[in-house]
Amino acid sequence: MDIKEFKIKLDELIINSDIVFISPHIRADYDALASSIAMSLIVKKLGKEAYIIMSDDIDKMEQGMKTIYNEAKELTSFTTKEKAEQILTDNTLLITVDMNKTYLTSCSTFLDKFRDIAIIDHHDPDQDTIATEYQYIMPKLSSASEILTEMMILSNVKITARIADYLLAGIFLDTNKFTKNASSKTMETIYKLTKKGGEIARVTDFFTEDYLADRKIQNLVSKTRFITYTAAIAIGG
């Protein structure tokens, strides 16, 4: 199905729902988190409440993921599977992103409680794929972030520099630093996101093992350089 056709159907599903939940795969990674955030902004633009279901232990996430999660709390709402099950109505839509299998969503025990389920993904479907007619599964595309970039543009949702960084991080991860499965269309997406203010340098920072410690070291290094420079002038003078 063409992305524009799918988008028209998805918009209709969203508009006709009381509430929309977005589920990334369990043990979410950069692509799952970034595409969930982007999807929630599309839902909000349509005037509907959106909640991202994250049941992972945030404390156990790597630093870059925590940074994105904490920043994104200002832009969107996160909830747990327990709360989601409590607040869902009989007119609730679930959108799964970056996965299509029943066992990969934290909502697997109550999937039957959603009125409809829509899937947006780039992994191959199989016999465990959630049964729904609303599927946009494109295994040839690099990442869910690549799909969501296009959907945000189609929805006229503003891609801020921050969102561009998150989506770039998703693409960066799934393409092994832009080297694997990066088609010309992927490169075009990277180009669009950098034009929106996304910065590859910040994206690579997310992936640094200990982001904050590394920042401190970098500050120390730059201070040292300054002292050396002053000393050099002093010696020169």
205 binds Mn ion (CB under 5 A): no
Number of residues that bind Mn ion (CB under 5 A): 5
Two tokens, residue 16: 């006709």
Taking the least distance from each CB to Mn ion, the nearer of 165 and 174 is 174
Query: What is the number of H-type helices and E-type strands within the chain?
Result: 9, 6
- Residue 35 C-beta: closest distance to Mn ion, Å: 7
Task: Choose the stretch contacting Mn ion; rule: CB under 5 A; options: 17-25, 88-96, 98-106, 155-163.
Answer: 98-106
> For residues 172 and 207, what is the distance between their CA atoms, to the nearest angstrom?
10
Contact 165, 65 (CB under 8 A): no
- Residue 202 C-beta: closest distance to Mn ion, Å: 20
Taking the least distance from each CB to Mn ion, the nearer of 34 and 117 is 34
Pairing, β 92-97 against β 19-23: parallel
| Rg of the chain taking only CA atoms, in angstroms | 20
- Residue 150 C-beta: closest distance to Mn ion, Å: 15
Among 6, 22, 31, 130, binds Mn ion (CB under 5 A): 31
Task: Choose the stretch contacting Mn ion; rule: CB under 5 A; options: 14-22, 30-38, 82-90, 180-188.
Answer: 30-38
Q: x/- contact string, 141-170, with Mn ion (CB under 5 A)?
A: --xx--------------------------
Taking the least distance from each CB to Mn ion, the nearer of 32 and 164 is 32
178 exposed, middle or buried (CB, 10 Å; 0-12, 13-18, 19+)? middle
Among 14, 72, 98, 151, binds Mn ion (CB under 5 A): 98
Terminal Cα-to-Cα distance of the chain (whole angstroms): 71
> For residues 152 and 149, what is the distance between their CA atoms, to the nearest angstrom?
5
- Using CB under 5 A, list all residues that contact Mn ion: 31, 98, 143-144, 174
